[in-house]
Amino acid sequence: MKHNFGAGPGILPHEVFKQAAAGVLDFNGTGLSILEISHRSPEFEGVLDEAVKLVKELLEVPEGYSVLFLQGGASMQFAMVPYNLLPDGGKAAYLESGVWANKALKEAKYFGEVEIAATSKESNFTYIPKDFTIPADAAYFHITSNNTIYGTQLQKFFPSPIPVVADMSSDIFSRKINVADFGLIYAGAQKNMGPAGATLVIVKDEILGKSGRKIPAMLNYQTQIEGGSMYNTPPVFAIYVCMLTLNWLKSKGGVAEIEKENDAKARVLYEEIERNPIFKPVAATEDRSKMNVCFVVNNPEHEKPFLKLAEEKGIVGIKGHRSVGGFRASIYNALPITSVYVLIDAMQEFAEKNK
């Protein structure tokens, strides 16, 4: 058995794989594969409608927001957000809390002025900046809710005088949020929601149409809303698997219940990292991610032997990002706590052998 701690594309529920595989062979008794049905067919329109409905239900999306399934990943949203929300000659504010936040603000600079409200770059992004002022004259304030590379996460969100735009690619559906606190949320699917290829966008309708610029159709949120996420052929299979995954999440009791499981997984793993003399955590205690647990060894010579032991135990995907080193255990929604205990057992065994 494999225990998949990969950062993304990440683990998805096994029952979703089985349902998706069946749909590839024969989608809902149509005699056709989900890979070949028309995106304009009633069958697929039902899939898309159900996926949108589940997003609204699971996140309690209020009236006045549109839910879109787009393409291009979160990286496309780095450009779409300022293209749609940042007026010519205007300013946007960004919280620089990691590599992806930095990439997002670089894209925004093509469209207007960017003010970095705060940064933790000087510490290699080991913490989330807190004592800063959000500029009230900016068009929006952009945050990255969870930083996969560095293992940090916003444990609470900042009150803001301007619309908040959040990249929630790596912790969407992992904890309860108040969608009304945000002007726009976007997330690549490939962590907690589905396979790579689909991107979720939840946008407050009233913030659109104010940039004063002409926007190409594919990059215009209003065009995508009017087209019901089908201005062009959507990523049919990716949306189908998202729908299956969201149904799985609903069957488990929804976001509130999965948050309890995620809290438990993170708690026991961080406790072992703190207790074990071989390892030490990377991120500031108050900012530690409950999705991506980053840690290193006290003795660099122990890194490769521990990775070898982990591989022998069926543990995959824990090698840390090159900019941090060490290890990164991504504990997304579908990862059972039993897999976390397998990792903990390996850590304890390694410590016993290396006293």
Residue 248 is a catalytic residue = no
Active-site choice (26, 88, 100, 353): 100
**Is residue 263 flagged as an active site residue?**
no
Can you tell me the distance from the alpha carbon of 325 to that of 300, in angstroms, rounded to the nearest whole number? Answer: 10
Pairing of strands 184-188, 199-204: antiparallel
Count of CB atoms situated within 10 Å of the CB of 7: 21
Out of 171, 191, 248, 290, the active site residue is 191
Catalytic residue among 56, 88, 167, 171: 167
205 an active-site residue?
no
Q: How far is CA 30 from the centre of its chain?
A: 33
Q: How many CB atoms lie within 10 A of CB 68?
A: 20
CA dihedral over 114, 130, 143, 207, signed as positive or negative: negative
Q: Which two tokens stand for residue 77?
A: 């949203």
Q: How far apart are CA 328 and CA 7, in angstroms?
A: 8
Residues whose CB falls within 8 Å of the CB of residue 221, separated by 6 or more in sequence, listed in order = 66, 68, 80, 84, 201, 203, 208
Q: Catalytic amino acids? A: 100, 167, 191
